[in-house]
Amino acid sequence: VNGNQERGWNDPPQFSYGLQTAAQGGPKRTPLNKRVPPPQLTGSPCPVPGAFPSLTVPMTPPTNPLAPPPCSMNTPPRPCPVAAPPLGGMMMMAATPPPPFPVVEHTDSASSQSESEPDVDDVVTLLNWALTACRPTVKKQVCNDVAKRLKLFEDMWKSGKLSLPVRRRMNGLVQELKSCNWDAADEIHRALIVDHVNEVSQWMVGVKRLIAETRNLNPDLLHTPEVDQSLDTSSTANSD
């Protein structure tokens, strides 16, 4: 009868040990949980700690005394020396003084104008000229009060109670008043109150009222014969 006489048809199969060992000797699969070392650029295997050869060249005395000393691979390069500027040059730079600023020379006319003393009579004359122009249309009581303030201003000027800046600004104020520059005259009056309130507080009220009333006048009233005569009379009195 054909077939295997030692095994039956329903016996379990037998595995060959040789086949198993042959299979184990073949190519193995890489375990998924094993870390793969990074590839080396030079293709050399991963270095082992403690296996580095000594890079320091033994310090043996050179046979040639004029030859430079041997260099070590682990010695860092020395920085290039930077030449310092000569000390004498720095001292010369520090000792050289800066160039002087140009001096602006003022002309004699400008200096004489800034240092000139305003004339109290000229200032009072222009104030009285404006007051004379206001009398035909402004109440008598108001004009009399303004006249008292102007008289106080004149007395303080002549007694030396007004500083030079106040006297100069009042001279500029009456010039603007004569030229009908009401805004400029009012601006000077405000500056005097802010900067010199102790000197001008007693009489500046009259000057302020005079500026306001003159502004409201008809321009023709500023050049009537009576108003022009007040200027001529004051000028004649000042010359005498």
pLDDT tens digits along 194-231: 999 999 999 999 999 999 999 999 888 787 777 767 66
pLDDT for 109 equals: 39
State the pLDDT at residue 226.
72
Higher-confidence residue: 184 or 109? 184
Please enumerate, as own/partner, the contacts of 156-163 that have beta carbons within 8 Å and a separation of 24 or more.
156/199, 156/202, 156/203, 157/120, 157/123, 158/120, 161/199, 162/199, 163/196, 163/199
Q: Looking at the structure, give the CATH architecture of the domain made up of residues 120-222.
A: Up-down Bundle (1.20)
% of the chain at pLDDT higher than 90: 41
Find all residues with CB under 8 Å of 200, minimum gap 6, and list them: 166, 192, 193
Asked whether residue 166 carries a pLDDT value surpassing 90, the answer given is yes
Q: Which residue's entry shows tokens 């007693």? A: 202
- In this prediction, residue 60 carries a pLDDT of 54
Is residue 161's pLDDT more than 60? yes
CA distances from 130 to 123, 166, 180 (A): 11, 20, 10
CA distances from 44 to 28, 41, 48, 73 (A): 23, 8, 11, 21
Residue 214 near residue 177, CB atoms below 8 Å = yes
pLDDT, average across residues 159-164: 95
Q: Does position 130 have pLDDT exceeding 60, yes or no?
A: yes
235, pLDDT greater than 60: no
Q: Which residue has the higher pLDDT, 156 or 87?
A: 156
49-97 pLDDT tens trace: 554 555 554 555 555 556 555 555 555 556 555 555 555 544 444 455 5
The mean per-residue pLDDT over the stretch 2-30 comes to 60
Q: What mean pLDDT value characterizes the chain?
A: 73
Percent of the chain at pLDDT exceeding 70: 48
Q: What confidence category does residue 160 fall into, taking pLDDT thresholds of 50, 70 and 90?
A: very high
